Amino acid sequence: MLISQDWIRKPRARPLSIAHRGASAYGFDNTLEAYRLAHHLEADLWEVDVHLTRDGVVVACHDADLRAVCGDRRAVADLDYEEVVRLSANAGREIPRFEAVIDLATQLNAGIYVDAKVQPAARAAIEVLGAREFERVIIGTSDPEFCRHLKQAGCPFAVSLLVGVGQDPFVLADQAKPDLIHPCWERAGARPDRLLDAAFFAKADMRGLPVVTWHEERPDVAAALCSLPVFGICSDAPELLRPYHDLFPDGPVIVCHRGLRSIAPENTLASVRAAFSAGFQFAEIDVHETADGEIVVLHDDTLDRTTSLSGLVAQRQFAEVSAADAGSHHGSFFAKERVPHLRQVLELAEQWGGRLYVELKQADPLKVARLVLDHMTLDRVFFWSFESSHMRALRQAFPDAQLMARPQDYASIDACLADYQPQILEFNVENATAENLSEIRSAGLQSMIAYMGRDLRLMGEMIALKPDILNLDEPFLARSLMSADQRLCESE
């Protein structure tokens, strides 16, 4: 079968995002769930590791044995497929057939990057892909001899040569004749991107070799790689490679409600980190005070819904709350996620250069504000509470603090503005009108629209109003609508 490989040489504005074993920062690697998450995070290709079972079934699995999956030391190659499924499913992370991954990729229009761990599995995977007439495929191997063999045998897909630290990629490429080179240099120091200098790209260009890079999760290194003339970048967190603030510099500021909770458990370090990794400017968090006076990040007054504990937060000691499982309600992958102290979230925001919207639940507002402002400047955070007395106390103690108010809680917008002089007004789908937003802009204030649903029509209407800020449960849905509008404008 002859398949065009022109797609790997097509000029691109940005490197392709390759989800390493799926979005494996948020789901068990090489599972269908990890690949669904990769699609949600707008990855272009999915990297898939393949092995062959004893009865000849190609499966998506990184290691040759099952120790990492379920503690079983037996090799995948020594087990029949049904046994592999049973063992992995019992451990809560079922190993899928490679065909199932291809079917999902076909449905979701993703490309496939096969990491050929062993030659028999690679050959079988190529046959499966050929039978499905799947076109956007790269076969990766670290074996130069096998790479050359695949090329000489007429492999219908592009072949990539994976090169380890300390190896000369061009000496190996001259021997193996790949279609792409893939330096696996994630462990080559704190800034491996600096190895990809002008001389490196000159050698790659001379040979007509597009470059794929290692899996990268460090924000500074990932940003540097995105600015280089590479074909694609692998990452456990593919959202890191296409940050919202880069793609939509003139778009509304986006607040991720309780963090990026569609990907990770709400109000945890994982969800806040995911929000910043995706390039969204703000994470919204809720704070409570424990019985011993510590400030924790949690939405409800009780621990029942989102943790392994029960009862009121205010009646529990911090040691108890901070030890609770705050992730399993979202999925077993996050079972080690804990209820964070506010200080931990502040340190994470500092690390990423992110901003916070702090909603005061049951907590001393002045204690919260002092802790926040120990870590962040006033322009990087805003506050709100259902208790207007909390807001008035903040305004008196911190005259320059950014405070939010909701017109829906007052008889009029004027009454809303008069209470504690908020700088940000939050509207909803009922009262967000062009007239109201214009009035706010004329007053020199910022408008925010909160929408926690998934209705595309409503989301589109809210975006069309051009608020300064959008507060969303589904920020990637808004992002996809903005992408569609952007493509439409470009086509016109």
Residues 222 and 296 in one domain: no
Where a domain ends, among 242, 275, 294?
242
Backbone angles phi and psi of 141, in degrees to 5:
-145, 145
Shared-domain flag, residues 315 and 232: no
Give percent of the chain with pLDDT exceeding 90. Answer: 94
Helix orientation angle between 413-420 and 434-442, rounded to the nearest 10 degrees = 40
Kind of pairing between the strands at 355-360 and 282-289:
parallel
* Beta-strand relationship, 45-52 and 253-257: unpaired
The C-alpha R_g of the chain, in whole angstroms, comes to 25
Which of 227, 242, 257 is the endpoint of a domain?
A: 242
Q: Are 74 and 66 in contact (CB under 8 A)?
A: yes
Question: Rounded to whole angstroms, how far apart are CA atoms 392 and 15?
Answer: 48
* Whether 113 and 215 share a structural domain: yes
Q: Indicate the pairing of strand 72-75 with strand 45-52.
A: unpaired
Stated pTM of the model: 0.95
29 & 115 share domain: yes
Q: Tell me: do 347 and 226 sit in the same domain.
A: no
3 confidence band (pLDDT: 50, 70, 90): low
> Which of 242, 259, 288 is the C-terminal boundary of a domain?
242
For the segment 290-329, what is each residue's pLDDT rounded down to a tens digit?
999 999 999 999 999 999 999 999 999 999 999 999 999 9
Identify whether residues 360 and 432 lie together within a single domain.
yes
In this structure, is residue 393 part of a structural domain? yes
Where does the pLDDT of residue 136 fall: very low under 50, low under 70, confident under 90, or very high at 90 and above?
very high
In a domain, 238, yes or no: yes
Confidence of residue 10 (pLDDT cuts 50, 70, 90): confident
Quick one: 378 exposed, middle or buried, by C-beta within 10 A (0-12, 13-18, 19+)? middle
Nearest alpha-carbon partner for 405 in 472, 354, 450: 450
pLDDT in tens, 445-488: 999 999 999 999 999 999 999 999 999 999 999 999 998 866 65
The reply to whether 218 falls in a domain is yes
pLDDT digits (tens, 9 = 90+) for 79-123: 999 999 999 999 999 999 999 999 999 999 999 999 988 999 999
Is the distance from CB of 125 to CB of 60 less than 8 angstroms? no
- CATH code of the domain in which 16 resides: 3.20.20.190
For the stretch 167-198, pLDDT in tens is: 999 999 999 999 999 999 999 999 999 999 99
Domain shared by 229 and 313, yes or no: no
Query: Are 230 and 275 part of one and the same domain?
Result: no
Give the count of domains, the chain: 2
Q: Residue 321's domain spans which residues?
A: 246-491
Shared domain for 175 and 316, answered yes or no, is: no
* Arithmetic mean of pLDDT, 131-159: 94
**Domain-embedded: residue 171:** yes
61-69 average pLDDT score: 97
Could you tell me if 280 and 218 lie in one domain?
A: no
Tokens of 7: 């797609």
207 found inside a domain: yes
Q: Per the domain annotation, does 1 fall within a domain?
A: no
Both 415 and 447 in one domain: the answer is yes
> What is the percentage of the chain residues whose pLDDT exceeds 70?
98
250 and 237 inside one domain: no
